[in-house]
Amino acid sequence: MDIRLEGISHSYGDTEVLRDISLEVTSDQIVCLVGPSGCGKSTLLRFLGGLERPTKGRVLQVGSPPEGCLNPLTYVFQDFALLPWRTVRGNVSLVLEDHGIRGDRAEAIIADVLSRTRLSDFAEALPRQLSGGMKQRVAIARALAVNPAVMLLDEPLSALDAQTRELLMDDLVSLWTRAPFTAVYVTHNLAEAVRLGHKIAVLSRRPGQIREVVSIDMPLSERSHGNPELEAVQSHLWNLMREEAKAADEELLDV
């Protein structure tokens, strides 16, 4: 399933947040959204997920969700949003229970997603026993369990330290390489964007407008650290973002 954003504009009261955003999210690709604080990235993700409606424009779903899809649009948040009293298995099984899936079918799905996120040995652990990186892997496993058409990730690595972020990026690359999925991935971090994005949409400061959409053809599995081609794209992105970020920062300090 593809998602097409057509002419999305939005205001909260007098505050214009997004202006005329059009973007295509293609099946089996990761689209990264980057832009300064407050430019409307999370708001755009809420429109994509159907949690809110924009003042103007529309979000079209083109094609059908994959087979076995329980929830076409599924979020992964920065703060993991796990239930602390449920084990790893319990957190994943909850979303299946919500869709009436129990017993052997649930067990098979849980075993599959825990194995894909390297959590099989931690199925009975509670969230408080896990590192931040593992908690986020549980949240990803839970999202994968519903076999979404599009995964919506809002700064999923922002709460993690630098080394853990690197490891999780490796995990996301191998997850995608083994079984491609469609995702919209919001981040402030340009290194994440060039590592994971097939397409990177750069937003201006508020009201967020698309400054440029950069495509990277290199397969995710070949995107190593220090690759000159990726570094060149990252510099280009930073050149686009620098002035926007500076102005956004000074605007926030003015408040």
Ligand X SMILES: Nc1ncnc2c1ncn2[C@@H]1O[C@H](COP(=O)(O)OP(=O)(O)OP(=O)(O)O)[C@@H](O)[C@H]1O
Q: Which residues contribute to the site for ligand X (CB under 6 A)?
A: 12, 17, 35, 37-43, 206
CA distances from 230 to 97, 104, 176, 242 (A): 42, 44, 19, 18
Q: Does 78 bind Mg ion (CB under 5 A)?
A: no
Residue in 11, 27, 42, 120 binding Mg ion, rule: CB under 5 A: 42
Phi, psi of 17 (to 5 degrees): -105, -45
Closest CA to 251 of 36, 45, 41, 10: 36
- Minimal distance, residue 218 CB to ligand X, in Å: 27
Tally Cβ neighbours within 10 Å of residue 231. 13
Measured from the CB of residue 11, what is the shortest distance to Mg ion in angstroms?
Answer: 17
The one of ligand X, Mg ion, none whose footprint includes residue 117, by CB under 5 to 8 A per kind, is none
Q: Which two tokens stand for residue 45?
A: 């993700």
Choose the one of Mg ion, ligand X, none that binds residue 38, judging by a C-beta under 5 to 8 angstroms depending on kind.
ligand X
Which is closer to ligand X, CB of 162 or CB of 255? 255
Strand duo 183-187 + 199-203: pairing: unpaired
Give 40 or 197: the residue with its C-beta nearer to ligand X: 40
Total Cβ atoms within 10 A of residue 29: 18
Q: How many residues contact Mg ion, by CB under 5 A?
A: 1
The residue ranges that bind Mg ion (CB under 5 A) are 42
